[in-house]
Structure formats: C-alpha cells, structure tokens
C-alpha cells in the first residue's frame, strides 16, 4: 500500500474502514498495517472480532465506532460514501 511516506511505510494512526459490498464485507486497517475483515454492517449493527479483541459498530448515521480492547481506546470513523473510506478523528 502507498502511505503518506511512500510504499510500504505505515503510520499507526493511518487507520480506515473500507466497504466491499460485492464481497459482503468491510475491511479495517489495524495500527500495525494489517487488514482485518468484518461482515458488512447495517446501521445500528455491531460485530466483535475476537482474535483482534475489537468491536466495530455502525452507528445510526452510517459512521463507524471501533472499540479496541487491547489499547483501551475508541476510534470514530466518519464514513464518506463518495470515497468509500472512513477517516479517523481523535
């Protein structure tokens, strides 16, 4: 992947959610640069990914909330359907 510092360089805050409707799933970029797959979530649904110990919730407004139990943090992703990416705001 091409990051802000070039190919193969990933920052721990470079996290995003991407929707893959043709595959009926979502992908989440983790802090270490790995992609983790989630089922496609409708508004108001959530999914706990037990191997990663994270809960991804799709809020009623379509945005995402990630609860990371390893880091004891919440991440809010404002979903932009035009760009099919969600950006994290702290």
Q: Mapped to the 3 state alphabet, what secondary structure does 35-83 carry?
A: EEEEECCCCCCEEEECCCCEEEEECCCCCEEEEECCCCEEEEEEEECCC
Render pLDDT for 22-38 as a digit per residue (tens, 0 to 9): 999 999 999 888 899 99
Render pLDDT for 2-24 as a digit per residue (tens, 0 to 9): 656 676 666 666 788 999 999 99
Q: Strand pairing partners for 63?
A: none
Task: For residue 75, give both structure tokens.
Answer: 């991440």
In eight-state DSSP terms, residue 21 is G
Please determine, for residue 46, whether its predicted confidence score (pLDDT) is greater than 70.
Answer: yes
Give yes or no for a contact between 50 and 57, defined as CB atoms under 8 angstroms apart. no
Instruction: Please report which confidence band the pLDDT of residue 90 belongs to, taking 50, 70 and 90 as the band edges.
Output: very low
- Domain range for 13 is 2-89
Global confidence as pTM? 0.77
Mean pLDDT of the chain: 83
Render pLDDT for 53-68 as a digit per residue (tens, 0 to 9): 999 999 999 899 999 9
Number of domains in the chain: 1
């Amino acid at each position: 992947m091409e990051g802000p510092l070039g190919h193969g360089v990933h920052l721990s805050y470079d996290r995003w959610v991407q929707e893959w409707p043709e595959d009926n799933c979502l992908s989440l970029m983790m802090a270490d640069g790995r992609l983790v797959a989630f089922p496609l979530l409708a508004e108001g649904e959530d999914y706990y990914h037990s191997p990663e110990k994270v809960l991804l919730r799709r809020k009623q407004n379509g945005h995402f909330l990630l609860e990371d139990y390893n880091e004891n943090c919440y991440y809010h992703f404002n979903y932009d359907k035009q760009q099919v990416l969600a950006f994290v705001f702290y």
